[in-house]
Amino acid sequence: MKKYFLFLILACVGCFACTQTKQKEETVNIQNPLPVAYGDPFILKASDGNFYMYGTSGDNGFKVYSSADMKEWKDEGLVYRGATEESWTVDCFWAPEVYERNGKYYLWFSANWKDNPTNEEEIFRIGVAVSDSPTGPFVELDNKPLFDPGYPIIDANLYFDDEN
């Protein structure tokens, strides 16, 4: 009799835990589409606890939206502008990704390079810009692409191996 009673208690505890889990899952309500006109979206969860969404927007640079809950998004404006006199970039700003490291924010992106002596139609290279804030302003680290394999490339991704 004691075994059956113990089994009944465990079964009830299991059902209660299952019910609690279902209730938690049902309280999250995120809807799509978001009111954001982006291609190649990238979301960073920063150390301040907020989310920052960057994407291809056709603005000769990149905008960012911020959110505390991933439901309500605030337009933070343009955080990086390329195609300026001092920039290595000329147009076609694609696929930004932002990584937070040691108190700095690094914006990795693809763009067409001004250095185009053979008049190639696409001369995409990978660049990086840095800021003290996820909302910019981001400033290019160098006056040339960070990565140039000699052919068009897009969509930079990083992986940090903090164990080695």
pLDDT, tens digit (0-9, with 9 covering 90-100), for 11-70:
343 444 444 445 555 665 666 677 777 889 999 999 999 999 999 988 899 999 999 999
Strand runs labelled E in the chain: 39-45, 51-56, 61-67, 74-81, 89-101, 104-113, 124-131, 139-140
pLDDT of residue 144 exceeding 60: yes
Instruction: Output the pLDDT for position 126.
Output: 96
**pTM check: above 0.75:** yes
pLDDT band at 125 (very low <50, low <70, confident <90, very high): very high
DSSP type of residue 133:
S
β-pair type (89-101, 139-140): unpaired
* Dihedral sign (CA 45, 46, 47, 49): negative
Q: What is the predicted pLDDT for the residue at 14?
A: 45
Residue 73 confidence (pLDDT): 92
- The H-assigned helical ranges of the chain are 2-27
- pLDDT for the residue 130: 98
Distance CA(41)–CA(53), nearest Å, equals: 7
Share of the chain above pLDDT 70, in %: 80
Over residues 69-81, the mean pLDDT reads 93
Residue 106 CA to residue 129 CA, distance in Å, equals 6
**For residues 142-160, average pLDDT:** 90
**How far is CA 104 from each of CA 50, 71, 136, rounded to the nearest angstrom?**
15, 26, 10
> What does the pLDDT read at residue 32?
67
Which residue type, as a one-letter code, is found at position 137?
Answer: P
Position 10 pLDDT exceeds 50: no
DSSP label at residue 81 = E
Which letter does DSSP use for residue 157 in this model?
-
d(CA 109, CA 154): 8
Reported as a pLDDT band with limits 50, 70 and 90, residue 159 is confident
